[in-house]
Chain A
Amino acid sequence: MKKLALLGAAALAALAVPSALQASADTTCYPEWRLDIRDLGCAGKAAISPGNDTRINLLLLLRDRQGIAAKNLTLPKPGWDEAGYGGTFFDWNYLRATFYPRPETSGEASYGGSRCDSVSAAAPAFEAALAANRALGEGERSVLAAARGRLAQTCSSAENLSPWPDAAVTSAAGRNFLGYLKAADAFYGARWDEATPAFAALAGGASDPWVREAASYMVGRSALNAAQDKAFDEWGGFGGPARVDKAAATAARDGLASYLKAWPQGRYADSARGLLRRVLWLEGDLSGLSGEYDRLLAAAPAGEDAAAELIQEIDNKFLMTKDAARASASPMLLATLDLMALRSWEVDPETGETVAAKGTISADELASQQAAFAAWPELYAFLQANHAYYAAGDMRSVLRLLPDDARQKRYGPLAFSRQVLRGMALAQLDDPNESGFWRELLGGADPLHQRPLVELALAMSLERDGKLAEVFARESPVGDTNVRSQLLQHSAGPDLLRVEVGNAARPARERDIALFTLLYKQLTRGRYAAFASDMALVARGANADAGLWSFTNQEEIPVGLFRAGRVSDGYPCPALVQTARTLAAKPSDVKARLCLGDFLRLGGFDDFDTLDARPDKRDLGGAANEFPGQPLQRAAIYAAIMDDKAAAPGDRAYALYRAVRCYAPAGNNSCGGEGVEQSVRRGWFQRLKRDYPGSPWARKLSVYW
């Protein structure tokens, strides 16, 4: 009967919540590669913090409280959303799939989570009750079992309903069951005024024990449906407590309570408790809800997915509600709300405007909550330290509130979060021992989520201190491939990249990233001789067609582009390595520069700025840049050659042609640089037509953009 009990709660509809509340498409989402994130982003992390999804923080707190370790867990295969997260970052769904791996469920709900979903699920219980009642004749049993089929008809349509078998059911027990079916039919048909009293009569007077119990439960369930019947607007959304039928809600509460009193271990007890929670929500009784959620959290099995399901509901029905904090006395809920209140932006309930930091929780407010955390002082000090870090910017207080405890053998989520915040304060203070602190913390960090985060912190610390080589040193503890790859792409110089290409201890993809970065930057920063000699590092058969759409996250890195990529689509060019050799000997060589431009264009590098744009200074890879030189812009090649009197006329014509085409097809510059006005483009076009009328490039171009 567990199934029915669960369905009963869900069947009243809308306990389901969006797994991405307020979700919407945006752009492809990437995490920010740093620890200090105050506002909700794409991804959370193992350190409880304001920028984490509230569900993630609450789940980590719950697991901490119950001492659940992340032992023997592995990361699930990442989907599109999670590519590149590694163990450092996770969103709610990914974390849930990591903690609670489960076989895929199959949806059985055929009425969209409405009350009708219990029609088929509850059939076995009805049949079992028929079988158990000895006062029924065999004929009556089968007639009653068949008569139940009408409920599904009522749920599907109101037409062609089977008639009730009044004549065939004659025994008193049979009449009980038939009466129950008629009441249920009224219930599924939304005739509450008929259903509720009919159930009430059976609950008081039926001789069959199952009928009595089920009807007693249904009194409250029917009243609850009546209470919310008008609570939804023409868009099917909840219109708020004001639209709830208060008398019916009270009747539901009383009915469910009296069922639970009579059958505390009853077969519908779980469902009844869930429905009581829904009454609280319908009535907008936040402190009632808070108390109930607190009780459920204390009893929730944090090692099972049911805990995540509960947290999902709490988030949707409570945490996101205005005034939730005022209603909450539970440390876990209050802490989650406090952390959310440390984010930078919040909505002004009066005006609907969002204002910076105005809604941030104050130190006084936090002080007023002290009593609620009396049994959990470590959590309270952690909240105070978060306030000091994010709101007050007082790093010394963070250190005072969170003493150094970096040498433990293992860390629960809260103890870990406390130490991470301490380390972040050390970083803000430029403490000379910051990297030493992170190295110590690594010793007790759980390998799944905690360790990659500490490796990120350590790598950032070393990068800031100009010690990039230490990150990649043989004895370096930084093994996270995402962290290393970020630094290879954005910070490493040519020598370090070359060493990593040859580092057989590292995964092939990481080494491919190092090689691709090395070659791309040599080529586009004018280091042609080095490019030509580094080309020897490209393996035979290296991938050339994986594309560059999602370079940082894609599985295959197309190192082979530099060897096998197209070099010409009209203007004759040799192999790229030959072009590089020519440029190494004579950087001003006109044909070779035009060929370099064509390689970049044909290889899809126009839309590729992953290795040229600098990360935010606060992010991993944003502090150091050891690769010398500035990236080449294709536009600069054409601008120089079109005005180069020493260049052959055909090459000047090609430069003009390419420069005009930079703006095809919509007038947007795809060749880099500042871009020029359309009048300048028109000038190029006219020069091409006027000065090089016999050139094939002039003939090929009939418009400009």
Chain B
Amino acid sequence: MGQKTQRLLVGRRAVLAGALAAAACAPRGESRVDPRRYRAFFLWAGVRAPDWLGEAEEVYVLMGEVRAGDPDGIVPLRPQPPRAVRPRLWLTLRAERLDWGEGVYARLLGELRRWEALGNRVTGLQIDFDAATRGLEGYAAFLAALRRRLPPRWRLSITGLLDWSAHGTVALGSLAGVVDEMVVQTYQGRATIPRYADYLARMERVPVPWKVGLVEGGEWREPAGLAAHPLFRGYVVFLVDRAGQQ
């Protein structure tokens, strides 16, 4: 990997500004991701939901994060829980570390129940953890243990880095039967990742149903054969805040 990924710099915090930049630097003729043509979305912290989001089929809503400095607490990132009637919801938790204390598990299950009690149709839990490829084995073990704690009515999803498919296939193999899906991000920083088609082709080796995460306004051209892949489950569009950067 090395250089391949070194080019793909620009990290997490740049996603908002960067993602919008993608719209400007996509070459003519490339198609841009128009969210109205999709049915599933990521709603991140600080991004104002568009009016039509309530009509979506499925929304992944960031609830909070487990920070590097505190393995026993969840820092909430959403002032209030959602109260959405129609879409199926995933509660997304960002994690900077995985050695969670009991407090995190209790809080997490409590939030899932709370969201449900408010009338939301909660599909399950999604974990967003940026494991480097060589950290994947520990991640797989963590997820297996998390799955055992999660009541069976909720499903378990993870976000995935595109380069996992190239370098982490051994560890990803052990996720079969543990996670119900993986949403693979095709974007980072300022643009859709170049060569995403190559990476996605390698998803062939990953035995877990997967979706492709796109960024609103980003460049996207569906690679040939993607839609026909037996484990491909569609797209999730990461919404960006068009109203400004509140």
Residues of A within 8 A of B (CB): 13-14, 16-32, 39-43, 53, 79-81, 83, 91-93, 97, 102, 104-110, 112-113, 232-240, 316, 320-322, 343, 345-347, 349, 352-356, 547, 549-554, 607-611, 613-616, 665-668
Q: Which residues of B contact A613 (CB under 8 A)?
A: 2-4
Shortest C-beta distance, A479 to chain B (Å), equals 23
Shortest C-beta distance, B165 to chain A (Å), equals 10
Given A23-B13, A609-B1, A613-B3, CB of A104 within 8 Å of CB of B69: yes
* B84, B132, B162 interface centre (most CB from chain A within 10 Å): B132
- Name B70's closest neighbour in chain A (CB-CB): A105
Tell me if B134 and A550 are in contact (CB < 8 A). yes
Tell me if A609 and B161 are in contact (CB < 8 A). no
- Name B49's closest neighbour in chain A (CB-CB): A235
Q: Which residues of B contact A553 (CB under 8 A)?
A: 132
- The residue that A354 contacts in the complex, of B24, B69, B161, B187, with Cβ under 8 A, is B24
Tell me if A235 and B82 are in contact (CB < 8 A). yes
Tell me if B17 and A346 are in contact (CB < 8 A). yes
- The residue that A349 contacts in the complex, of B101, B190, B244, with Cβ under 8 A, is B244
Tally chain B residues at the interface, Cβ within 8 Å. 101
> How far is A459 from B185 in the complex, measured between Cα atoms in Å?
36
- The residue that A609 contacts in the complex, of B3, B78, B190, with Cβ under 8 A, is B3
Tell me if A26 and B74 are in contact (CB < 8 A). no
Tell me if B5 and A551 are in contact (CB < 8 A). no
Q: Which residues of B contact A235 (CB under 8 A)?
A: 43, 49, 53, 59, 61, 78, 82, 84
Q: Which residues of B contact A104 (CB under 8 A)?
A: 69-72
> How far is A700 from B93 in the complex, measured between Cα atoms in Å?
47
Residues of B within 8 A of A (CB): 1-18, 20-25, 42-49, 53-54, 59, 61-62, 64-65, 67-84, 94, 96-97, 101, 103-104, 107, 111, 128-135, 159-163, 166-168, 185, 187-190, 193, 198, 201-202, 204-205, 213, 217, 238, 240, 242-246
- Name A550's closest neighbour in chain B (CB-CB): B134
Shortest C-beta distance, A622 to chain B (Å), equals 10
Between-chain CB contacts (< 8 Å), 15 pairs: A18-B45, A19-B75, A20-B12, A29-B11, A40-B18, A106-B101, A107-B101, A240-B246, A347-B17, A347-B245, A354-B24, A549-B168, A608-B1, A613-B4, A665-B204
Count CB-based A-B contacts (< 8 Å): 303
> How far is A547 from B134 in the complex, measured between Cα atoms in Å?
9
Tell me if B134 and A321 are in contact (CB < 8 A). no
> How far is A415 from B226 in the complex, measured between Cα atoms in Å?
54
From DSSP, what is the main secondary structure of chain A's interface residues?
loop
Tell me if B10 and A615 are in contact (CB < 8 A). no
Tell me if B134 and A81 are in contact (CB < 8 A). no
Tell me if B132 and A16 are in contact (CB < 8 A). no
- Name B10's closest neighbour in chain A (CB-CB): A41
> How far is A668 from B224 in the complex, measured between Cα atoms in Å?
12
Tell me if B72 and A22 are in contact (CB < 8 A). no
> How far is A552 from B3 in the complex, measured between Cα atoms in Å?
10
Q: Which residues of B contact A25 (CB under 8 A)?
A: 12, 128-130, 159-161, 185, 213
> How far is A345 from B44 in the complex, measured between Cα atoms in Å?
21
Q: Which residues of A contact B14 (CB under 8 A)?
A: 39-41
